[in-house]
Amino acid sequence: MSFSFFDFQTKWFSAAGFVRRYVLLATVSLCACCMVRGQQQEPDEKPGHSPVIAPKLALKWSVLHLMYFYPSWQFSLEHRLLKTLNIQYDGGWVVNSQPNFSGYENKRGYRMSVELRYYLPSSPQMVPFYFAGELYYHNIRFDRSETIGFNCATGMCDYYQFVTYPVKTEELGPGIKFGMLMFPGWRKNRSFFFDLNGGFAYRKINYSYSLRPSGEGIEQVGDIHGLRLFAPNEAVSERIRFIIGARFCYRFL
């Protein structure tokens, strides 16, 4: 199977990907507007405003999850446990991506995590900083199509068949993060903010091919992974990776 950069561009800018591009453009525009507003000050503004504190209750949306190889609509709910301790529940459903990479079609499933946050009492009055530990899990399925050769024990297959079967992948593991909350125009605005963080995570990874035709004399024909530059390495069973997060948030309390 051949794949060119022109094919990639054609699929990415197809009508099927219009909605995602529109959402990303709208969120970037909103971010820019909020930052401009945050830099403006009223002439009669005076120092001495109360410091920004972590939210008691906030709803969040992660735009970066739409750019993952297994993209998802991901939302979070954070609420306070103690004065400097919050908990965040994160969940979302996986959606199919464009372009649809060969061997990874009709993606579906979910990802979820629970995160415990400690907000630093010594944070600057306008930017709360925090350390966080999370436990992450995802369960994702996709369809794989490939050509299978049957009765190939002698080196030559008696016949070939094009088959489609589901594949399941699961990931589980902890992570640690350092992050901050940024309130554009923090002297006036205490509702809308950005949640930014980065850290490291350990992941235990498993791929299940239980419904793939198997048996003596059955062989795979060709490359099922298509463009390997983007496809995950299914042979890796565990990994330590760098993680980043960026969320648009609204504070209720």
DSSP string, 42-111: -TT--S-PPPP---SEEEEEESGGGGSSS-EEEEEEEEEEETTEEEEEEEEEE---SS--TT-EEEEEEE
| pLDDT for res 193 | 96
Distance in angstroms (rounded) separating the CA atoms of residues 191 and 17: 31
Specify if 45 maps to a domain.
no
Is residue 48 situated within a structural domain? no
Domains: count for the chain: 1
Is residue 43 domain-resident? Answer: no
Q: Which range of residues forms the domain containing residue 106?
A: 5-38+54-251
**pLDDT tens digits for 154-173?**
777 777 778 888 999 999 99
pLDDT in tens, 121-152: 988 888 999 999 999 999 999 998 887 877 77
| Residue 90 falls inside a structural domain | yes
Q: Is residue 161 part of a domain?
A: yes
Report strand pairing: 72-82 vs 57-62: antiparallel
HSE value, Cβ hemisphere, 13 Å, CA-based, for 18: 3
Residue 143 lies in a domain: yes
Give the residues of the chain that fall short of pLDDT 70. Answer: 1-49, 98-100, 215-230
CB burial string 52-81: b at 16+ within 10 A, e below: bebbeebebbbbebbeeebbbebbbebebe
Q: What is the pTM of this model?
A: 0.74
Q: For residue 45, what pLDDT is reported?
A: 41
How many Å apart are CA 106 and CA 143, to the nearest integer?
6
Q: What is the pLDDT of residue 144?
A: 87
Residue 131 lies in a domain: yes
